[in-house]
Amino acid sequence: MRVMHVTFDMRIGGTEMVIKNIIEGNSDANIEMSIYCIEAPLGPWGEDLKASGTPIAVEERQSGFDRSLISKIRKHIKDNDIDILHCHQYTPWVYGTLAAAFTKTKVIFTEHGRFYPDSSSWKRKLVNPVLNKFTSAVTAISEATRDALVEFECIKKSDIDVVYNGIKPLEPSTGELSALKISLGLPENALVFGTVARLDPIKNQSMLIEAFAETEKYIAEAYLLIVGDGELMTSLNAQVERLGLQHKVIFTGYKANPTSYLAIMDVFLLPSLSEGTSMTLLEAMSIGKPCVVTNAGGNPEIVAHSKTGLVTANNNQEELKEALITISESEKMRASFSESAIARFYELFHVNKMMAQYSKIYKKVLGN
């Protein structure tokens, strides 16, 4: 069985991590996988996979609707005898479906997330039902994402399977953690709240900082660790300075491997306005971090409220503050959430679980 993943590129991101995990998690010798990127450059994860033997083709999509790209994909799937095109996100699905039409190649479309606020267009409402007729399976990474496909993309709910993202559990090096805390200026008794995300309006770190400013008045040992970089770095630093929190809020900048930073957090925070299935949230759960998240996208499907963490209303600073205070005041609660988070991760979000579901879909669309 030859499966080719069609995507924008293989730079560092959530969709790209899913593709990487599917390929690296594939233990079925009867399934051969490759990647077709419709944009350049390939990206570091793509280079790593290529170096380890995964066949990868890269095209540079032209601006506007690039009709020549359809012909290129079509030639590639015929030349390489591709059985399944697994198209990740909307644009690759459009090009992949048109390229595979009236060939033996089956098409699978996976939606990885939605823009905030969500929207559609009359063109999509006309085109998508037609594309779906030429698509053998549609998957979404959360129930919230599936519901958005139904509402905004005119794809029938009965046609969509939910396949949660899956990852390998993190394995932090415990020997590094004390030294890291010292290097960040965190005292031994610090209660470390933390988040890992690009500094972007959609991630809503500004509200998080405001909520933390209120929390810190009640919890003297509270610190906030923000791992990531992005367009809001300057404004968020200015906000921290305005609130007088320079000694309590630590910006680390971008970290290619944030495992150790996640490991020193006592509570992981995700205050996003919109999410699909957050990979960093899964990573945090894999090492037993209690989580406080907003009720956005797939977040409440990942975090079981009052079992593995706390879920607050989207964009509600007061609720977030109350959740931070509540989880700060109970070490017993944090310990219970930690144990339950690990169990839930292995039940639903381990890479083996995701790979088993995709393997079943691959075989089903080929009639195996």
Q: What is the pLDDT of residue 237?
A: 98
Mark whether 325 and 356 lie in a shared domain: no
- Say how far apart CA 96 and CA 135 lie, in whole Å: 10
pLDDT tens, 43-54? 999 999 999 999
Mark whether 92 and 216 lie in a shared domain: no
Mark whether 246 and 300 lie in a shared domain: yes
Residue 117, preceding bond cis, omega within 30 degrees?
A: yes
Who has greater pLDDT, 326 or 121?
326
Number of domains observed in the structure of the chain: 2
CATH of the domain at 102: 3.40.50.2000
pLDDT at 110 over 90: yes
Query: Please, which pLDDT band fits residue 205 given cuts at 50, 70 and 90?
Result: very high
Coil/strand/helix, residue 194? strand
Mark whether 75 and 157 lie in a shared domain: yes
DSSP 13-36: SHHHHHHHHHHHH---TT-EEEEE
- Say how far apart CA 243 and CA 29 lie, in whole Å: 57
Query: Please, which pLDDT band fits residue 42 given cuts at 50, 70 and 90?
Result: very high
> What is the rounded average pLDDT of the residues 91-99?
98
CB of 336 within 8 A of CB of 310? no
Mark whether 229 and 345 lie in a shared domain: yes
Mark whether 96 and 18 lie in a shared domain: yes
Mark whether 193 and 324 lie in a shared domain: yes
**Token pair belonging to 209:** 């900082």
DSSP 228-270: B-STTHHHHHHHHHHTT-TTTEEEEE--S--HHHHHT-SEEEE
pLDDT tens, 65-76? 999 999 999 999
Mark whether 257 and 280 lie in a shared domain: yes
Mark whether 191 and 124 lie in a shared domain: no
pLDDT at 12 over 90: no
Mean pLDDT estimate for the chain: 96
pLDDT at 113 over 90: no
Q: What is the pLDDT of residue 115?
A: 78
Mark whether 344 and 354 lie in a shared domain: no
pLDDT at 303 over 90: yes
pLDDT tens, 153-180? 999 999 999 999 999 999 998 888 999 9
Mark whether 224 and 273 lie in a shared domain: yes
pLDDT at 116 over 80: no
- Identify the residue whose tokens are 């690039």: 66
pLDDT tens, 212-264? 999 999 999 999 999 999 999 999 999 999 999 999 999 999 998 999 999 99
Mark whether 156 and 200 lie in a shared domain: no
pLDDT at 117 over 90: no
pLDDT tens, 308-342? 999 999 999 999 999 999 999 999 999 999 999 99
Indicate the pTM of the whole model.
0.92
> What is the rounded average pLDDT of the residues 132-154?
96
Torsion of the alpha carbons at 62, 66, 72 and 78, rounded to the nearest 10? 150
Q: What is the pLDDT of residue 249?
A: 98
pLDDT tens, 264-289? 999 999 999 999 899 999 999 999 99
Which domain covers residue 300, as residue numbers?
174-349
